[in-house]
Amino acid sequence: MPDYTIEDFSKYKQYLNTINVVLERYFEDQKEYLRCKAGCSHCCEHGDYPFSELEFQYMLLGFFRIDPQEQKEVIKRIQALKEEYAKLEDKKEFSHRCPFLSEKGICTIYEYRGLICRTFGLITKHESGKYTIPFCQELGLNYAEVYDSENKVLDYDKVKELGYKNLPNAYRTNLKALTSEELFECEPLDFGQIHPMMHWL
């Protein structure tokens, strides 16, 4: 298990700054298709949230900086989640609400959130060439007008018909890509192992 130091976290913070600039560009490019707005927390309601160890340790730094009452609430949610998890026979693909999400639907550790959290809302392109559409399209939100859910493809005729300026774009925003220093031309970092959030709680 890597023993992270203040220097490691400071390097990671620089890494985040670089990634945030790149992601801002992606969000700007795709803004016509995005319905993300303050108070919307669908992406934090269901998932297994894979994080590397470095990310999760950094998230804990954020947790220790929040209001003590809020910390108690997060701990309560973690305990309830662990109890639910312990009772499961099949622990694979456990989808759950993130315990860092407050009752009001706000991320309590926003500045310290993980890498994938920063990409919620965009289309993710995987190494295999496949892509994942944000699941909120099912709720009539991101990409809903241009996604053919029956055939599971983007409908480019619809894009044209609706007069969108930019094409819908899929970006390499899976965790493997986001932890690749080459992709972001950053100093190498030891991210440690990657596991779903339940492993780290």
Q: Which residue's CB is nearer to ligand SF4, number 56 or number 171?
A: 56
Core vs surface per residue 7-39: b (16+ CB within 10 A) or e: ebeebbeebbeebeeebeebbebbeebbbbeee
d(CA 5, CA 189): 12
The least CB distance from residue 188 to ligand SF4, in Å, is 25
The least CB distance from residue 102 to ligand SF4, in Å, is 8
Could you list the residues that contact ligand SF4 (CB under 6 A)? 44, 49, 98, 100-101, 107, 109, 113-114, 117
Q: Which residue's CB is nearer to ligand SF4, number 121 or number 154?
A: 121
Confirm if 164 and 33 have CB atoms less than 8 A apart.
Answer: yes
Q: Which residue's CB is nearer to ligand SF4, number 66 or number 183?
A: 66
For residue 161, how many other CB atoms are within 10 A of its CB? 11
The least CB distance from residue 31 to ligand SF4, in Å, is 19
The least CB distance from residue 58 to ligand SF4, in Å, is 11
d(CA 115, CA 130): 20
Q: Which residue's CB is nearer to ligand SF4, number 55 or number 159?
A: 55
Q: Which residue's CB is nearer to ligand SF4, number 112 or number 159?
A: 112
The least CB distance from residue 59 to ligand SF4, in Å, is 6
Start-end of H helices in the chain:
6-29, 53-63, 68-87, 156-161, 175-178, 181-184, 197-200
Confirm if 124 and 15 have CB atoms less than 8 A apart.
Answer: no
Phi, then psi, of 21 in degrees rounded to 5: -65, -45
